[in-house]
Amino acid sequence: MRQSELFTKTQKTLPKDEESKNAKLLLQAGFIHKEMAGVYSFLPLGRRVMENIMQIIREEMNALDGQEIFLTSLQDSAPWRASGRWSDEVVDVWFKTKLKNDTEIGLANTHEEPLTALMRNHIQSYRDLPVYVYQFQTKLRNELRAKSGIMRTREFIMKDLYSFCRTKEEHEQFYELAKQSYLKIFDRVGLGEQTYVTAASGGSFSKYSHEFQTVCEAGEDTIYIDEQQRTAVNKEIIDEPEYDKSKLKEAKAVEVGNIFTLGTKYSEALSLLYQDEQGKKHPVFMGSYGIGPARTMGTIAEVYADEKGLVWPEQVAPFLVHLIALPGVEAKADGLYDTLQKQGIEVLYDDRQHVQPGAKFADADLIGIPYRAVVSEQTVKQNSVEVKKRLEQNPQLIPWEQSYEFFKQHSFASRQGHRN
């Protein structure tokens, strides 16, 4: 895409109340826009990152035999009353509104109840199980405070997967597969090294659940890491007798995903039952598995950004190459842009005519695309293009004809299979 046509500009002033590093940088670079505290819109660059993250997640959900659906934001109160979670005292983040006839309805803060009710139409027999259902849907949560940028917001898309199994044993097998799938997702988006499967409280469902915690100074959680096992324990349960704090390393971390054994809490409350081979009825054994793509994006921003701006891993970057044309050689740069486009390489091409080279370089660092490619009079003389990875100090000169192949290799290695 030509940057002269991209409608967003990097911003010089920021909303006054913005505290978090991820939101400051993403606002400044024009990836997001702040609608109000804890509510952010996604602009073209930000939407592309979100789309890349969601596509990686979708591929891994499909690999788990997940079936994609799309539930609603408006929710009938009936299934929530049945599960005991309609009251604002039980769930303190409800947004509610009213139909014209004064009936109170809820705005989705999660979807266990409506989905469990829905599945009654489709699960009757042991032959209908197991099934795994997921969606990317907006959650609305009336958070008292929202101060972590796009990492904790009042409105966000969540990928939520739900599993429906016959027995606890069948559930546990899937739960283990889901855990591996999540590790693969965080690895693919570029957070593999910093992310730990973390034992956490199971809430009202079971003794423990698992969180995926990414080590990061801006994190709201504290975890204790066992580096050898690549696991961690959330502070909330570290005092349980089975953990030995002294052998673990304390760190701040962001919860980028979580997986829960729900058991039969919702299936019993909402009568989601199946008949076994003998015709006997049992409640379905459930689990839920969440990842917030925007929180993942915010965490990537927090983990990798430096003093100059954002730094995107290749797999999720809005473009692979940021091509910059310096004055006098625009036609040459145009040619390279066209060639790269034809090769299917995603390029943001800074063809802006009224912007100084220094400002172009500063914008490129702020936006954080993995490869910067500069075409200048000097490089043209040497029949080459100057390429620099975002975090490297020294650029390398790559001969003109090799540059397509260079980027194509990187493009195929990191990004194929999940881009449309």
The answer to whether the bond into 130 is cis (omega within 30° of 0) is yes
Give residues 151-210 in contact with a copy of itself (rule: CB under 8 A): 154-155
Number of residues that bind a copy of itself (CB under 8 A): 56
Question: For residue 52, what are the CA distances in angstroms to 58, 65, 182, 188, 273?
Answer: 10, 20, 16, 10, 37
Of 143 and 314, CB closest to a copy of itself: 143
Among 21, 24, 33, 184, binds a copy of itself (CB under 8 A): 33
Q: Which of 25, 26, 29, 30 binds a copy of itself (CB under 8 A)?
A: 30
Tokens 């995107």 belong to residue: 312
Q: Which residues contact 31 (CB under 8 A, 6 or more apart)?
A: 42, 43, 45, 46, 49, 310, 318
- For the bound state, the minimum distance from the C-beta of residue 203 to a copy of itself, rounded and expressed in Å, comes to 22
Q: In terms of CB distance, is 150 or 340 closer to a copy of itself?
A: 150
Q: Mind giving me the DSSP string for 225-241?
A: EETTTTEEEEGGGTTST
Residues 99-118 binding a copy of itself (CB under 8 A) are 99-100, 105, 107, 114, 118
Q: Name the amino acid, one letter, at 55.
A: Q
Nearest to 37 by CA among 16, 9, 8: 16
Q: Which of 297, 223, 219 is nearest to 57 (CA)?
A: 297
Cα separation values, 380 from 2, 73, 92, 281, 332, Å? 20, 55, 62, 76, 8
Cα separation of 194 and 159, whole Å? 21
Stretch that binds a copy of itself, among 74-82, 174-182, 214-222, 356-364 (CB under 8 A): 74-82
Measured distance CA(295)–CA(218) in Å, rounded: 12
Residue 65 binds to a copy of itself (criterion: CB under 8 A): yes
User: Rule CB under 8 A: is residue 9 a binding residue for a copy of itself?
Assistant: yes
Q: Is the dihedral of CA 257, 259, 265, 269 positive or negative?
A: positive
Contact between 35 and a copy of itself by CB under 8 A: the answer reads yes
Query: Any contact of residue 36 with a copy of itself (CB under 8 A)?
Result: yes
Residues 257-286 that bind a copy of itself (CB under 8 A): none
Is 43 a residue that touches a copy of itself (CB under 8 A)? yes
- Of 28-36, 232-240, 271-279, 285-293, which part binds a copy of itself (CB under 8 A)? 28-36
| Residue bearing tokens 């290695």 | 413
By CB under 8 A, tell whether 318 contacts a copy of itself.
Answer: no
Q: Is 17 in the site for a copy of itself (CB under 8 A)?
A: no
Residue among 3, 20, 52, 75 that touches a copy of itself (CB under 8 A): 75
Decide if residue 68 touches a copy of itself (CB under 8 A). Answer: yes
The owner of tokens 């509104």 is 97
Residues of the shown chain interacting with a copy of itself in the complex, contacts defined by CB under 8 A: 5-9, 11, 30, 33, 35-36, 39-44, 47, 50, 65, 67-76, 95-100, 105, 107, 114, 118-119, 121-123, 127-128, 131, 133, 138, 140, 142-144, 154-155, 354, 420
